[in-house]
Amino acid sequence: MDIDWITVSAQAINFLILVWLLKRFLYQPVIKAMDKREHKIRSRMEDADAREETAREEAQKYQAQADALKQQQDDILEKTREEARQERSHMLDVAREETARVRASWMREVNEEKAEFIGSLRRQTLEAIESIAGKALQDLADSDLEARMVHTFIQKLPTLDQEARESLRNTSEPACISSHSELDPALQKQLTGAVHDQIGGEIAVTYTTNPELGCGIELVCNGERVSWNLSDYLEELTTRMEKAFKPVITEQQEA
């Protein structure tokens, strides 16, 4: 079979022309449109990426601000709590101090009332004892009691020390013996003899009465004094009563 090269050449030329025409009027516009669309898409993607990055940065910024705000809120809350704890502690301290002050004031008043009551009770007790004992001694004041008082007083004369004895021997002043009521002459003679025996036979002895002595006898001479009185026992009893009450009063004062 013979090839018609002219026809083949013409077809080849037509094909090339067709290819050129397709490329010129079809492929290039399409490629340009595709390139343009691809550029737009790429641009939009880049813009989207930029916006996404911006959004991410904004989100991080807002998150940082939120974290800072939360930290600030936590700090304010903690500060408020601490202030509340301090205020509560201060109020408790004030309440304790006020309670302690009121309690101390109350205890002081109670102790003062107790001390006043005990002191009044002590005074009344001592006064009652002294009154009762005084009445009892007055009821017992008879000749037998006077004799016992003189006997007891004579037993006290040997208790004078040597210096007192010398002072009484070397004075011209009489020895004055006092009693609540006038002593029986026999008792006076007994007393005078005892004074002469213990001090010296030259000393003068006089007798007088002193209602304040109660049931007792007293010798005074040249500044020296020898006495015996039942009231001394009452004073001793009073002293013991005071000592008995003292620990109670001291305890109330310390409380």
Residue 17 shares a structural domain with residue 70? yes
Please report the pLDDT score of residue 137 as a whole number: 57
**Number of domains present in the structure of the chain:** 2
| Mean pLDDT computed over 218-237 | 72
Say if 113 falls within a structural domain: no
Please report the pLDDT score of residue 109 as a whole number: 82
Q: What is the dihedral of CA 146, 152, 153, 154, to 10 degrees?
A: 110
Say if 81 falls within a structural domain: yes
Residue 101 shares a structural domain with residue 146? no
Residue 102 shares a structural domain with residue 151? no
Ranges 73-82, 124-133, 198-207, 236-245, most confident: 73-82
Torsions phi, psi for 206 (to 5 deg): -115, 160
Return the number of other C-beta atoms located less than 10 Å from residue 175's C-beta.
22
Say if 123 falls within a structural domain: no
Say if 244 falls within a structural domain: yes
pLDDT band at residue 246, thresholds of 50, 70 and 90? low
pTM above 0.85, yes or no: no
Residue 79 shares a structural domain with residue 154? no
> For the chain, what is the radius of gyration of the CA atoms?
66
> What six digits make up the tokens of 161?
């020390």
Tell me which of 108, 129, 158 is where a domain ends: 108
Residue 3 shares a structural domain with residue 104? yes
| 3-state secondary structure (DSSP) of residue 178 | strand
Q: How is residue 200 annotated by DSSP?
A: -
Residue 15 shares a structural domain with residue 104? yes
Residue 73 shares a structural domain with residue 157? no
Say if 176 falls within a structural domain: yes
pLDDT of 60 > 80? The answer is: yes
Say if 128 falls within a structural domain: no
Please report the pLDDT score of residue 19 as a whole number: 75
Domain of 57, in residue numbers: 1-108
Residue 212 shares a structural domain with residue 157? yes
Please report the pLDDT score of residue 122 as a whole number: 65
Residue 87 shares a structural domain with residue 45? yes
Say if 117 falls within a structural domain: no
CA dist., res. 191 & res. 195, Å (int): 6
Say if 64 falls within a structural domain: yes
- Name which residue leads in pLDDT, 223 or 132: 223
- Name which residue leads in pLDDT, 34 or 119: 34
Residue 9 shares a structural domain with residue 82? yes
